[in-house]
Chains A and B, each alone.
Chain A
Amino acid sequence: MTAKKSKATLILHSGDFDKVYSALIIGNGALSMGMDCSIYFTFWGLERLKKGGLEKGKLSKMNMLGLGKAMMKKLMKKANVAPLEQLLADYKELGGKILACDMTMGVMGITKEQLRDDVINDYCAVGTYIKEAKESEITLFI
């Protein structure tokens, strides 16, 4: 590879089902285009790193007590959109980094044992994000 590696750094603040999709699709897109990528899971986003929690978010709009989400999942399946677990596995395989916000863990009483330690590269706070974001061509708050 001759091109210099550029970087995307994303914050996933939302735990909503569709926004987790956005983060993982953009993250995978960045890696696929030859960039490095880090996603910082914080606040409601961190809930999605709990064991068994990745697909648990509600739809950000028209959730309708889960009916809207069920409909959306059906439409996505029909359109052959990969499930979130697949996109997370792809993201990790392509070398994407997952960071967990330890401040959120403290506030919400989430322990390392509750989280998917196998996919988390590091536990950190805002300083690490700022350092990475400064070096990044793309940074998004989702």
Chain B
Amino acid sequence: MPETIRVDCRGENCPRPLIETRKAINKAKAGDTIEVVGTHPSSKKEIPLAVEGMGLKLLGVSGSDTDWKITIRK
């Protein structure tokens, strides 16, 4: 059964939102969903770049630059 892994990096600064997302991607199985919430503005742009770089599927990016949610499918 595909699971949803939640990552909360609200309040964390560069580069930890990216790092925590990467750790979650490593832990996830194929088909799992990873849901990341954060407040660091650049990470909102950069996590999707990392997702694209790893050939994973970006399901959605929502919220403001300082309060966002990113959803990824492994």
Interface of A toward B, CB cutoff 8 Å: 1-3, 25, 28-29, 31-35, 79-82, 86-87, 90, 93-94
Contacts and interface: CB of A to CB of B under 8 A. Distances in A.
Contacts of A81: 13-14
B11 A1 contact: no
A25 B13 contact: no
Contacts of B21: 32
Q: How large is the interface on B (under 10, 10 to 19, 20 to 34, 35 or more residues)?
A: 10 to 19
B13 A80 contact: yes
Nearest to B9: A80
Contact of B19 (A34, A80, A90): A90
Interface string B31-74: 00000000000000000011001111000000000000000000
A34 B54 CA distance: 6
Given A1-B55, A3-B54, A32 B13 contact: no
Q: Is the interface of B mostly helix, strand, loop or mixed?
A: helix
Nearest to B40: A80
Given A1-B55, A3-B55, A94-B26, A82 B16 contact: yes
Nearest to A4: B55
4 nearest CB pairs, A to B: A2-B55, A34-B54, A32-B22, A32-B18
B3 interface: no
Given A28-B18, A32-B50, A34-B50, A82 B13 contact: yes
Nearest to B14: A25
Contact of A79 (B13, B23, B26): B13
